[in-house]
Amino acid sequence: MQKEFKISVVIPIYNVEEYIEEALDSVINQTLGFEENIQMVLVNDGSSDSSGEICERYEKKYPQNIKYFYKENGGVSSARNMGIDYAVGKYLTFLDPDDKWEEHSFKNAYEFFEKHYDEIDVLAARVKFFEANDNYHALDYKFDRGTRIADLDDEKEIFSVQSTTATTFMKRSAVGDTRFDTHLKFGEDSTFINKMMLKKKAYGLICEALYYYRRRASGTSAVNNQTKDKSFYTESLTNYHMELMNYSRKLYGEVIPYIQSLVAYDLYYRMGNDKYKDVLDEDEIKVFRQREKQLLDEIDDYILVESPRHKTMRKRDEAFELKYGHDLTSQLEFDETDNKLKYKGYPVLNVETTRGPACRVGFASIKDDKLIIDLFIAQWLFRANKGGKVTFSVNFGDVKVTPKLIAHDPSNVQVKENRPSYYYRCHLEFDISDVQTGEVRKFVPYIKFGDKGCRIALSYSKFVPNSNNFGPAYKVYGEYGLKCFRSNLQVLRPKRMSRFIKLNEKRCLKWLKLNGRKDLAKFRKDFFKFRKTEEKKGKIWLFSDRIDNAGDSGEVVFKYISKHAPEGVRPIFNIGRDARPEVIKRLKTLGEVVYYEDELFKFYFLMADKIISSSAGEFTINAMEQDRPYFIDLYNFDFYFMNHGVNCGDCSNWLNKFNKNIHIFFNTGVKERQAIIDGRYDYTEDQCVITGLPRFDALYEDTRKQLLILPSWRRSISGAYDEKTSSVYFDGFVETDYFKFYNGLINDERLLSKMREKGYKGLFCLHPIFMKQYVDFQSNDVFDVNEGFVDYNKVFAESAAMVTDYSTIAFDFAYLKKPIVYTQFDQKQFYEDQVYDKGFFEYETDGFGPVCYDLDSAVNELVELIDNDCKNKYIDRVENFFVNIDKNNSKRVLDAIIDDDKKRNK
């Protein structure tokens, strides 16, 4: 007799060996009682890793509860469909194999379903991300009104859309013959679950069940990469959006508002940028835009306007342009009765209370008795001119200013072609020397639409302590205090600063405790005690390279400054505990070392006067990670950046002032420096200083007959790394053009024959991000494949010539005046996918060797080079690029820091 189960869980499985046990255990540990009440149906969709073996082990342990099946690869939908056929529980749910359920979820869901059995077929749980971030899903707002039955005819529930199946429970009997569309790559689960929900025009929402959705740090999930897939712009619109609209018509004779809302929610992800142009040809783009308009014609305007997830005007303007041939912005009118911009009475923006970046403070600080503010105003507001000319002004106390506005596009925002800029920007400075003791002077921005207007709400960047994120936030600048609110920004001059700090610290601790962060309250309190005892030991200068390694400019300059530290300076090097023991041992011989994972590091970080690093990763400049808003008032360091190599590409989308806030950007060449000054980095001439990279100081000569091949990594091969640039093995690596090219190069018989003839050996080294892929490459009697981290100085010293692609490591090798061959077989794709764009450095005219675009030409160049005993024909380019080749770069860095201090202390 077949056992009866309360809930069946279908889990489709494909190459998830590192995640699957966590998923299975989350079901086994359910408080509903696994062995008594839960069935698991595991469908292996042709995995090539050990996922199947893991499943078999679990099936053997729980034979009454777990059914395991293997099938040839056919996609997640076919695996789910097979699982449905074997699911026998009263209720059914789907779990993706890299996700997990909170332990009480099944019990709470079962009890809710039993209570409301006749009212619903589907019950949705809350969704929270984990791994890469810990936010709730974008649609979590639908749970604001609590656990309930959502009537899809109720206008209050129109935007309570459900877009996924895995995060729901459903009656097994209600599934019937409904199955997932195996031809649909995106939206197959939304189509499935919404067809079920439409039958009763209702579904349940339960706050007491929580699905944990893994947002992979490596960015390898289908959702993370959907905008690069052609089907996202083609089949999804017809087989998902239009399919649900037609299904609604079939049942009810119309596209009900709920389905309109669901389609608008998903369709908006294709708007506001030009990403579709990277994957569609001209004819496909034409069809895509026609289908978008066809869908938009079925969606009521108020739904497009009020969609709670997509608030950017860029998206809404694009929707209206496709639907009507004109934008939305120019149709807006300001209603002074409630200070809202509206379209035909539908509210679009509450100007006074908006939480969005309509008026954003990029930086706010006090220096030399001046309040200094960098302000950004959304440019679309000035096109909302139906009521007359739009004007912007600011008040600071009794002073009113109409600032000069300059068009500005953030480097990290993809701007659509033929579109106005994203923001207007202005830089403001106000004299505050006349602020009286005990006075509070307010900075307030205003906007007018014709003759009507109001105050505009302020939002703040990650660098500004503000009450929007942390209620009692404040910052101290000498004798002044600064407080930032949504309604205004305040400069204060307390009578007694010590009392002001004590009072505000009490408020901070109270707020943290009341908001469930007693851990942070304790940490903050402990920090002040720690600082009181440690500050006597000198100003802390924190140095670093990567979390997991050193040996770059951070270590080299740390060694130098530890020996030549200015009076009252305490150099400390920061590294992770997982770094190799020999690296940590070496660092400890140079000076004081602190571990990234330890609380002590966070204390030193908050005390730091300067951070000096070759890395601009968030771990370098934000030790408090997601808790930054509660401690940003204590960040008082200046960031001195040496870069991991010469800045030959355009890295402004990452290294710009408003993302990294670099105080001094150290450069190597004249062209490099000028490219940063002229680019979209937003750094001044004084902030860009030519010193050369300190790591060049550690280079030395020990040349042997060795050819070094050392290519960079590829962002497009996302399965081989995680967000902290740690290497993870990716079994799909061998299918990439990258692997095929370099494995082909080190095994090319023409090259190997010439190297044998001339007595050369070869060494192939992968970038640290790809280092776990070394097992894929085939070594031979000439070429060795390096395992693990590379001792760069050693391999540079011993090699007679080097092959690389786009890696800035080429500048180190060129510094030694040795020849280089560049292999750029994938140039177009590289610049499309990498974190930086093509910069000032043109390899064909500025490079330190020939550029090869295919394997044959690379082999030809290398054979010729080795035949001529690696004579460097590009020495003039080397000497023209480097301002200094003297190994005094560390000294120049220290001199520049000291000079900077002197200027500020005048």
Query: For 92-140, what is each residue's pLDDT tens digit?
Result: 999 999 999 999 999 999 999 999 999 999 999 999 998 867 789 999 9
Contact of 628 with 605, CB cutoff 8 Å: no
Query: CA-CA distance, 874 to 817, in Å (whole number)?
Result: 9
Name the pLDDT band for 727 (thresholds 50, 70, 90): low
- Taking the CA atoms of 225, 227, 228 and 230 in sequence, report the sign of the dihedral they define: positive
Query: CA-CA distance, 783 to 854, in Å (whole number)?
Result: 20
Contact of 486 with 457, CB cutoff 8 Å: yes
User: Cβ-count burial of 159 within 10 angstroms (0-12 exposed, 13-18 middle, 19+ buried)?
Assistant: buried
Q: How far is CA 721 from CA 15, 39, 645, in A?
A: 16, 35, 20
- pLDDT of 221: 46
Please give the radius of gyration of the chain, using alpha carbons only, rounded to the nearest integer. 30
Q: Where are the domains of the chain?
A: 7-217, 225-321, 359-494, 534-695, 700-881
Check pLDDT > 70 for residue 514. yes
- pLDDT of 724: 44
Q: Which pLDDT tens digit goes with each residue over 715-724?
A: 888 665 554 4
Contacts of 841 (CB under 8 A, 6+ apart): 646, 648, 649, 671, 672, 847
Name the pLDDT band for 220 (thresholds 50, 70, 90): very low
Q: Which pLDDT tens digit goes with each residue over 758-778?
A: 999 999 999 988 888 999 999
The β-bridge partners of 378 are 423
- How does the average pLDDT of the chain come out, rounded? 93
Please report where in the chains the tokens 């009020």 appear, as a residue: 306
Contact of 2 with 88, CB cutoff 8 Å: yes
Rounded to an integer, the average pLDDT of 339-350 is: 94
User: Cβ-count burial of 1 within 10 angstroms (0-12 exposed, 13-18 middle, 19+ buried)?
Assistant: exposed
Domain 359-494, CATH among 2.60.40, 3.30.1360, 1.10.287, 3.30.360: 2.60.40
**What backbone torsions phi and psi does residue 616 show, to the nearest 5 degrees?**
-115, 20
Query: CA-CA distance, 525 to 510, in Å (whole number)?
Result: 11
| Complete DSSP assignment for 433-479 | TTPPTT-EEEEEEEEEETTEEEE---EE-TTS--TTTSTT--EEETT
The β-bridge partners of 10 are 41, 94
Q: Tell me how far the alpha carbon of residue 166 is from its chain's centroid.
A: 24
Classify domain 7-217 by CATH number.
Answer: 3.90.550.10
Inter-axis angle of helices 257-267 and 282-296, to 10 degrees? Answer: 150
Check pLDDT > 70 for residue 1. no
SS3 call for 852:
strand
Q: Tell me how far the alpha carbon of residue 755 is from its chain's centroid.
A: 44
Query: CA-CA distance, 805 to 710, in Å (whole number)?
Result: 8
Contact of 610 with 637, CB cutoff 8 Å: yes
* CA distance between the termini of the chain: 89
Query: CA-CA distance, 573 to 591, in Å (whole number)?
Result: 8
Question: Which tokens in the block code for residue 230?
Answer: 């052609």
Give the DSSP H or E segment for 574: strand 569-575
Contacts 24+ apart (CB under 8 A), 79-83: 79/12, 79/13, 79/14, 79/43, 79/44, 79/45, 80/10, 80/12, 80/43, 80/165, 80/180, 81/179, 81/180, 81/182, 82/43, 83/10, 83/11, 83/12, 83/41, 83/42, 83/43
Other Cβ atoms within 10 Å of 335 Cβ, number: 16
Contact of 588 with 571, CB cutoff 8 Å: no
- pLDDT of 772: 87
Q: Which pLDDT tens digit goes with each residue over 4-33?
A: 999 999 999 999 998 999 999 999 999 999
Q: Which pLDDT tens digit goes with each residue over 417-465?
A: 555 668 999 999 999 999 999 999 999 999 999 999 999 999 999 999 9
Rounded to an integer, the average pLDDT of 559-573 is: 97
Give the whole-number percent of the chain exceeding pLDDT 70. Answer: 95
- pLDDT of 726: 59
| Complete DSSP assignment for 642-698 | --SS---SB-HHHHSHHHH--SEEEESBHHHHHHHHHTTT---GGGEEE---GGGGG
- Taking the CA atoms of 709, 714, 719 and 722 in sequence, report the sign of the dihedral they define: positive
Query: CA-CA distance, 71 to 82, in Å (whole number)?
Result: 9
Contact of 377 with 392, CB cutoff 8 Å: yes
Contacts of 42 (CB under 8 A, 6+ apart): 11, 13, 24, 55, 58, 59, 66, 67, 68, 69, 83
- pLDDT of 725: 43
Q: Of 800, 764, 614, 758, nearest to 696 (Cα)? A: 614
Query: CA-CA distance, 170 to 176, in Å (whole number)?
Result: 11
Angle in degrees, CA 286, 290, 294, rounded to 5: 170
- pLDDT of 834: 64
What 8-state DSSP symbol labels residue 773?
G
SS3 call for 585:
helix
- pLDDT of 218: 45
Q: What share of the chain is helix, strand, coil (3-state, %, to 5)?
A: 40, 20, 40
Check pLDDT > 50 for residue 351. yes
- pLDDT of 187: 93
Q: Which pLDDT tens digit goes with each residue over 688-723?
A: 999 999 999 999 999 999 999 999 988 888 665 554
Query: CA-CA distance, 755 to 863, in Å (whole number)?
Result: 8
- pLDDT of 595: 97
Tell me which fold the domain 534-695 belongs to.
Rossmann fold (3.40.50)
Contacts of 317 (CB under 8 A, 6+ apart): 327, 328, 329, 380
Q: Which pLDDT tens digit goes with each residue over 605-627?
A: 999 999 999 999 988 999 999 89
User: Cβ-count burial of 617 within 10 angstroms (0-12 exposed, 13-18 middle, 19+ buried)?
Assistant: middle
Bridge-based pairing state of the strands 569-575 and 539-544: parallel
- Where are the alpha helices (H) located in 847-905, listed in sequence order? 855-867, 875-881, 889-904
- Taking the CA atoms of 122, 123, 126 and 127 in sequence, report the sign of the dihedral they define: negative
Amino acid, res. 105: S
Contact of 727 with 217, CB cutoff 8 Å: no
Q: Which residue has the higher pLDDT, 3 or 132?
A: 3
Domain 700-881, CATH among 3.40.50.10470, 3.40.50.620, 3.40.50.2300, 3.40.50.12580: 3.40.50.12580
Contact of 883 with 668, CB cutoff 8 Å: yes
Rounded to an integer, the average pLDDT of 317-344 is: 95
**Same fold? 534-695, 700-881:** yes
Query: CA-CA distance, 400 to 397, in Å (whole number)?
Result: 8
> Residues in the chain, how many?
906
Contact of 859 with 842, CB cutoff 8 Å: no
SS3 call for 348:
strand
User: Cβ-count burial of 834 within 10 angstroms (0-12 exposed, 13-18 middle, 19+ buried)?
Assistant: middle
Contact of 729 with 772, CB cutoff 8 Å: yes
- pLDDT of 153: 96
- pLDDT of 760: 98
- pLDDT of 418: 55
Q: Of 849, 854, 881, 878, nearest to 865 (Cα)? A: 849
Rounded to an integer, the average pLDDT of 325-331 is: 95
Amino acid, res. 636: N
Amino acid, res. 578: D
- pLDDT of 831: 79
Name the pLDDT band for 222 (thresholds 50, 70, 90): very low
